[in-house]
């Protein structure tokens, strides 16, 4: 991943996805925006107790930086599940200014209509962006430990293939900043559910990013088409919101993608 900036807003891009002219994408940082206190500065989550007007302004600033239309935003009500939804053009605007108006119980979004921007919100969970340039289909996925255990990354690739005629071997994937194995201490139950973990000094540490990478490979995505950010949110809580490091309340950063 490479850092970008536009005005006061800081954001990141995947090198693997940046080469496609038909795609706009980015992962926001904490830098920029108008939120204060534990949400400072660029909190884009409406569901964490921040002033909604500030959050909406932050989303506007993020859209301007990434080059997507604020009016085109669409989000799901994330519930740490594995539901994946293919957006219709009429659903543009879902969840844009209200969490309650987001697509119900949705942790994975797929877009095949140009001009619609989709995104997921995280503060330690894994954000994934997927794109198949041949079918011109993109996805944004929120994968916490429960979603990872439920196989949401592989399911998203499968839905892209079945509903949108994407070919898994041509899908390019970005696995964004998330809490790393270095910091993600979990119970043995969670470690076994995620399936990628190590034991150190009688404690379990899970690797969500690697678990999702393996799911993508199992779904048919080529190894060379997967870019891992390698950024631990807990280690870099000055750049990205991390609930494990900062505690509650705290803000959310987002991974956005839109078809040009």
pLDDT band at residue 2 using 50, 70 and 90 as cut-offs: very high
Res 205: pLDDT = 98
The pLDDT, as a whole number, for residue 199 is 96
Task: Provide the mean pLDDT of the chain.
Answer: 97
- Domains in the chain: how many in total? 1
For residue 73, what is the domain's CATH number?
Answer: 3.60.140.10
Compute the distance between CA of residue 12 and CA of residue 4 in angstroms, rounded to an integer.
Answer: 5
Contact 73, 63 (CB under 8 A): yes
pTM above 0.95, yes or no: yes
- How sure is the predictor about 60, in pLDDT bands with cuts at 50, 70 and 90? very high
What pLDDT does 239 receive? 98
User: pLDDT by residue (tens digit) across 89-99?
Assistant: 999 999 999 99
- Nearest residue to 179 via CA among 130, 250, 96, 85: 250
pLDDT digits (tens, 9 = 90+) for 189-226: 999 999 999 999 999 999 999 999 999 999 999 999 99
For residue 155, give its domain range: 2-259
């Amino acid at each position: 991943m490479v850092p970008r900036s536009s005005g006061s807003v800081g954001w990141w891009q995947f090198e693997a996805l940046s080469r496609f002219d038909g795609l706009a994408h980015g992962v926001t940082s904490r830098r920029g925006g108008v939120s204060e206190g534990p949400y400072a500065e660029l909190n884009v989550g409406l569901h964490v107790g921040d002033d909604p007007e500030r959050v909406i302004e932050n989303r506007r600033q993020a859209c301007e930086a990434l080059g997507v239309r604020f009016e085109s935003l669409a989000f799901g009500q994330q519930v740490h599940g594995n539901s994946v939804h293919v957006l219709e053009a009429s659903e543009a605007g879902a969840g844009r200014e209200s969490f309650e108006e987001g697509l119900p119980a949705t942790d994975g979004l797929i877009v095949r209509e140009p001009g619609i921007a989709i995104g997921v919100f995280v503060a330690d969970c894994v954000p994934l962006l997927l794109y198949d340039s041949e079918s011109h289909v993109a996805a944004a996925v929120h994968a916490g430990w429960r979603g990872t255990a439920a196989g949401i990354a592989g399911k998203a690739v499968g839905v892209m293939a079945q509903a949108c005629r994407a070919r898994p071997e041509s899908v390019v994937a970005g696995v964004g900043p998330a809490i790393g194995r270095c910091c993600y201490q979990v119970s043995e139950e969670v470690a076994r559910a995620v399936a990628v973990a190590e034991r150190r000094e009688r404690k379990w540490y899970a690797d969500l990013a690697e678990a999702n990478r393996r799911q993508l490979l199992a779904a048919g995505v080529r190894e060379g088409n997967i870019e891992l950010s390698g950024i631990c949110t807990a280690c870099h809580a000055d750049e990205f919101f991390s609930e494990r490091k900062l505690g509650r309340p705290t803000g959310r950063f987002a991974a956005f993608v839109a078809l040009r």
